[in-house]
Amino acid sequence: MCDRARPIVTLLIAPDSPLAKGRIPKSATELEDGIRVSFDPVSYGALRASIGEFIPLLEVLAMFAEAIQKKLEEDAAEARNTHENGDGTQ
């Protein structure tokens, strides 16, 4: 058991992606443009292993950390732009 929160990343997997043929969690939602699914690092590693791609858990954690940081930076930039353009609500 883990004594800290697990990062969760949500992906949109293209229908023609090899990942779409792997071990997708039951919570996945099929959309017109792909499969939307949230992963914790272990589940993502299991998906990749189910299609024959083995990634060490530490590498998955690093990938998730990068993705989360990028999303936070994008959200912050969007918030700044909205504020600077006067589009925010007060």
User: What element of type H or E holds 82?
Assistant: helix 57-84
Residue 1 has pLDDT above 60, yes or no: no
Sheet holding 9-13, edge to edge: 9-13, 34-39, 29-31
User: Given this model, what pLDDT does residue 88 score?
Assistant: 53
User: Given this model, what pLDDT does residue 46 score?
Assistant: 92
Helices (H) and strands (E) in the chain, counts: 2, 3
User: Given this model, what pLDDT does residue 2 score?
Assistant: 57
Check: pTM over 0.75? Answer yes or no: no
Residue 86 has pLDDT above 90, yes or no: no
User: Tens of pLDDT along 4-60?
Assistant: 677 888 999 999 999 999 989 888 999 999 999 999 999 999 999 999 999 999 999
